[in-house]
Structure 1
Amino acid sequence: MDLDAGHMGQLLGELRRSHPRLAVATIVGGQTATASAGAPLEADFEIGSVSKAITGLLYADACDRGEVQPSTTLGEFLPLGDCPAAQLTLASMGTHSSGLPRLPHYSDMWKRSYALWRHGRNPYGEDVAELLAQARTVRLKSPRPRYSNLGFELLGHAVAAGAGLTFRALVAERLSAPLGLTSTYVPATKSELSPHALPGTNRKGRSQDPWVGEALGPAGGIRSTIGDMATLAGALLDESAPGLAALDPVANFAGPAARIGAAWMILEAKGRAVTWHNGATGGFSSWIGLDREAGTAVVLLSATAGSLDRHGFRILADLTPDR
């Protein structure tokens, strides 16, 4: 089915019960529709870990350019010395199988967690130098699938170094410029937020600080608008986006039912392969999903924390014609 104005209005009404400020994009048969509720269409959102999906595209694109290879190690492009993390391959980080923990060890972990829970503070904020210092002391675990924010931070900055760029410049030059994404960016500080940046809230409606930080960018620090994300989804479907190999599954993740490419998850849902990623920060949530065979896609962005997965999978299934 296609989402006409009536169906889109009904969908927004349903979603607004738990996500009062959100935006939706759908693509069916090459036709894109966008809508928002509680926020203007030009509003920009934190896309959280959908940033990892973008980093996966940039990594695959750098491989296509010959700047890096899957077997390239972190130590080849980042000054990590002889620490264990320096020997990790980019491929292992792209599939969350490097043995890196989800987060580095913070001496003030309790303080950060409390500040986030009690006051909505940003638990991140490190620059790249601080990230590398953390990586030099990290203890590796067994190399099995284990979701790692730390791994994608390091992957993105290593790929950028291989291109002779910062990660922010990598996003701008390799993704935003060729696809015409005018509102997709990587703020390192609050002062770098655009005038259209929405503030985020937790599920109880309490304000949350923006999650900004130079180190965070590749794993969860990108902001974008529904228009830009719809353009990206369309480019992935028509194969004009860079780094398309990131969408192709290369390993199991959490069992044979779920596969992973470079960040992108591939899940069989009702006999169809859905290629997707989600995101969450203290005050935002996001979801992007593609049925590449059917040529359909859905993007959901919300300025409220809380999973959008169930909604995203359902809407994508409704959009996709029966075989």
Structure 2
Amino acid sequence: PRTIALVNKISHILDEPFILENLLNSSNLNNIMSLVPPNDFKKAGMRFIHWSITNPESVEKIQQMPQPILAALLEMVREDKKDVGWSWHYLLERKEVRQLIGGMTCEHIEEMDTGLFIPIISLYNRQRQQSFPKNLQQCCLRKLMEHLQLKMALTQTRSDFGLISMLEPVEIESLGGFVLVGLPVEALKASQHLDHILATIGKLSNTDLLMAANISHLQALAHLAIKQDGIVDVFTAGNLVWFLPPKSKVPELKLMLEAKLLDTTICVPTASRRNFAAILLSQFGPAVNWSGGVLA
């Protein structure tokens, strides 16, 4: 109630410099902005954006705003620049626009120039404050296919192994694991950079992995990390080790756990937990013999 009363009192003067300054320093900024009427927010929105140009310390505050607010601000900028010609290059080149990249939607991704997709998604991944949004995953995958088709056409390259074989390390790093995990397993097998792709996916937390793909797909990806003689390269698999089949040989598992390089938050179905329990027992021996020295 107090926040609503405050918003009603200041909403018509949001574009005043002293109001903006106090808002950006408020720990309640996001709650306040979510209650501002659309018309008042529109008037204040452009002032917010221009204010950040002369007040660099406010940029981080703006970047941390909820996605719907950032999306609204991004649309305001696009509308404001309509007369002079909007370009998706602005997301990369203009400071006042770059800070709003967290507001990207599927519509924005579909509209942007295909040639700009990789640098924009790279910036998005570096700047985002939270986990990659699930609702952007499929439209990013579609845009990635457009990018690879364009790349194949421009380089006049023909590949018998499909579009995924065109992925290069810099693109893999730019896309991040949440997008890559959505690629078909059979298509990934054709990539000469398969280990790099798996390692990038394996950097995701267990929670992100489960949000990004279903269990059977994660198990199929984990299986790709199994090398000759059934030995798993755990440095490639990362958190995909949680989805390995029983009796998998993971010689570096203890080292990875000791170095805290694996997410130990277990939020997987019972069958997957049993699989991993079997792997732990094969590496550390019967639990009855465990001691602080074994698990340290």
Q: Larger radius of gyration, structure 1 or 2?
A: 2
Which of 1 and 2 has higher RCO (CA within 8 Å, sep 6+)? 1
Structure with bigger helix share is 2
User: Which bin holds the TM-score, normalised by the shorter protein?
Assistant: under 0.3
Scaled by the length of structure 2, the TM-score of the pair is 0.23
